[in-house]
Amino acid sequence: MRNFVLEGNLCYSITPKELKTLRGYVVCKNGICAGTFEEIPEEYQSFEVYDYSDMLIIPGMVDLHIHAPQYAFRGMGMDYELIEWLNTQTFPEEAKYADAEYAKKAYAIFAENMRKSATTRACIFGTIHREATEILMDLMEESGLVSYVGKVNMDRLAPESLLEQSADMSAFSTFGWINDIRGRYQYTRPILTPRFIPSCTDELMEQLREVQRTYQLPVQSHLSENQGEIEWVKQLRPDAAFYGDGYDKYDLFGDRNLDQEKVRTVMAHCVWSTDDEVRRIKDNGVFIAHCPASNMNLSSGIAPIRKYLDLDMKVGLGSDVAGGQTESIFRAITDAIQVSKMYWRHVDEKAKPVTFEEAFYMATKGGGEFFGKVGSFEDGYEFDALVLDDSALKSPNDLNIRQRIERAIYLSLDLNGIVAKYAAGRKIC
C-alpha cells in the first residue's frame, strides 16, 4: 500500500536555480518519495507501475494563502482597493458563514474545486465561525489535500456580524474548536489565524499567545499588504516597531532560534515591508506567501521578491482567493514572474526578474517547506505529484520537457489538463 511508481516526463526543483527534468520513473514508498530514476532500481521492481507514457509529472502545487469563504465571489468585484473591497465584498460574504447550511453549500464547492486543482497543500483561512470552520475541515479532509485550516480571530474594526464578542470569547471559541477537532483528521490540521493586526485587540493577541503555547499551533496572517493598511496599523499599534513586530510582541511571528516546530508562521504579502521588518522575517524564519494576483487586483503593489530570494528567505506562492481571482498556482507562477518584470522595469532596475526556475521552486519546494519535506521528487520528500496531459497543446516542433512544463504553466493547463493528482502518497484525483 502506497508503494508505487509513476512513469513519464518528470520535472522538479532541486534549488531555486535548478529545475531537474528527466524521462523516467518516480518512486513512492510508504507515501514518501524514494527518488527519480531512468530505470526502476532492483528494490522497487515489485512496485506497481503507472505508465503515464508521454505525459508530464511534476510535484503538486503548494498554496500558502487562500480564503475559503471568499471563493464564492472569486473573479467578481475586482475594481476595488483593499479596505473598500473588504467592506463591500469580503465582510458581507464572510458573515454568511454563521449559517452552517450556507457554509456546507459554499465550502463544498470550494473543496471540490481544490480537489480538482493543481494544488496538493494549502494554508486556508476560514471565518470566525467555529461550526463553519469545522465543516470546512471535514470537506478538506475528504478532498484528499493536506491542509492547514484556520478559524479566524477578529474582535474589532469589522461589521458587528463578523466580530467575536470579546477577546475572551474569541480565545474560548478557538480552544473549543481545537478540542472539537482533536484526532478527527489525518490530513487536515488547525492553524492559528488572527486575521490581521487591525482586527485584533491587544487583549486578543495576548490570548492567542496562550493558545499558541498550549497547542504549539502554527500561525498564519497578513503583513504589510497595502500602504493604507500599514498607516492604520501604525495608529492602532504605536508600540510596535513595525507591522510584523505587532505579531512578534505576542510570539506569533516565527521564532528567533529558528525552532520551526515552535511557532511555524506564514505571512501573506510583505509588499511594503521595511528593512527592519524584512530582517525580522528572515531572523525568525517566517514564511512569506507571495500573492501576485491579489497584489495586482487590489492595487496593493508589487512585492520585492528578488530581494527576498537573494536574502535566502522562505518564500512560497499564494493564490489569495478572492483577492486573487483563481486558485490556480500555475497562474501564480506566471504572475510572480510577470510582476517581477514590472518591478524591475518601473521600480528598481537592480531587482532582476524572477526566473521560471525560481517561480516553479516557490510554488513547490519553497512553499512546501512549510509542510515539512514537501514539494520535490528528491529522496525523502512526501509524495505529492501532478500528472498533466499536454497533448492538446500542439506544436510543429519537438519540445523538450523543460519547454513543455513552461508552456503548460503559462497556458494554464491546470484548467483542463490534469489527469491525476497524488497527495501524501495517495491518488486523490
| Beta carbon of residue 197, minimum distance to its own copies (angstroms, whole number) | 22
> Closest Cα to residue 223, out of 263, 158, 278?
278
Tell whether residue 100 is a contact of its own copies (CB under 8 A). Answer: no
Residues 395-414 binding its own copies (CB under 8 A) are 395-397, 399, 403, 406-412
> Closest Cα to residue 168, out of 182, 155, 179, 157?
155
Write the single-letter amino acid at 230: I
Tell whether residue 383 is a contact of its own copies (CB under 8 A). Answer: no
| Beta carbon of residue 38, minimum distance to its own copies (angstroms, whole number) | 24
Contact mark string toward its own copies, 48..87, x via CB under 8 A: ------------------------xxxxxxxx--------
> Closest Cα to residue 288, out of 253, 251, 328, 329?
253
Tell whether residue 255 is a contact of its own copies (CB under 8 A). Answer: no
**Closest CB to its own copies among residues 311, 347:** 347
Query: Of the listed pieces 7-15, 206-214, 280-288, 391-399, which binds its own copies according to CB under 8 A?
Result: 391-399
Q: Is the peptide bond before 158 cis (omega within 30 degrees of 0)?
A: no
| Beta carbon of residue 410, minimum distance to its own copies (angstroms, whole number) | 3
> Closest Cα to residue 133, out of 324, 247, 141, 121?
141
**Residue 374, CB half-sphere, CA atoms under 13 Å: how many?**
25
Tell whether residue 353 is a contact of its own copies (CB under 8 A). Answer: yes
Q: Count residues near its own copies (CB under 8 A).
A: 52
- What are all long-range contacts of 180-188, with beta carbons under 8 Å and residues at least 24 apart? 180/130, 180/134, 181/134, 181/137, 184/137, 184/141, 185/137, 185/141, 186/141, 187/140, 187/141, 187/144, 187/145, 187/146, 187/147, 187/423, 187/424, 188/137, 188/140, 188/141, 188/146, 188/147, 188/149
The C-alpha atoms of residue 125 and residue 261 are separated, in whole angstroms, by 20
| Beta carbon of residue 23, minimum distance to its own copies (angstroms, whole number) | 18
> Closest Cα to residue 284, out of 273, 297, 298?
273
Query: Of the listed pieces 32-40, 149-157, 234-242, 345-353, which binds its own copies according to CB under 8 A?
Result: 345-353
Tell whether residue 91 is a contact of its own copies (CB under 8 A). Answer: no
Tell whether residue 394 is a contact of its own copies (CB under 8 A). Answer: yes
- CB-based contact 232:81 (threshold 8 Å): no
Tell whether residue 415 is a contact of its own copies (CB under 8 A). Answer: yes
| Beta carbon of residue 378, minimum distance to its own copies (angstroms, whole number) | 24
Q: How far is CA 70 from CA 65, 90, 91, 109, 372, in A?
A: 12, 7, 9, 11, 27
**Closest CB to its own copies among residues 275, 346:** 346
> Closest Cα to residue 65, out of 148, 134, 146?
148
| Beta carbon of residue 100, minimum distance to its own copies (angstroms, whole number) | 13
**Closest CB to its own copies among residues 47, 102:** 102
**Closest CB to its own copies among residues 171, 401:** 401
| Beta carbon of residue 352, minimum distance to its own copies (angstroms, whole number) | 10
Contact mark string toward its own copies, 292..331, x via CB under 8 A: -x--xxxxxxx----------------------xx-----
**Closest CB to its own copies among residues 72, 205:** 72
Phi, psi angle pair for 351, to nearest 5°? -90, 90
Q: Which residues in this chain contact its own copies in the complex, by CB under 8 A?
A: 72-79, 102, 105-106, 109, 113, 293, 296-302, 325-326, 334, 337-339, 341-347, 353, 355-356, 394-397, 399, 403, 406-412, 415-416
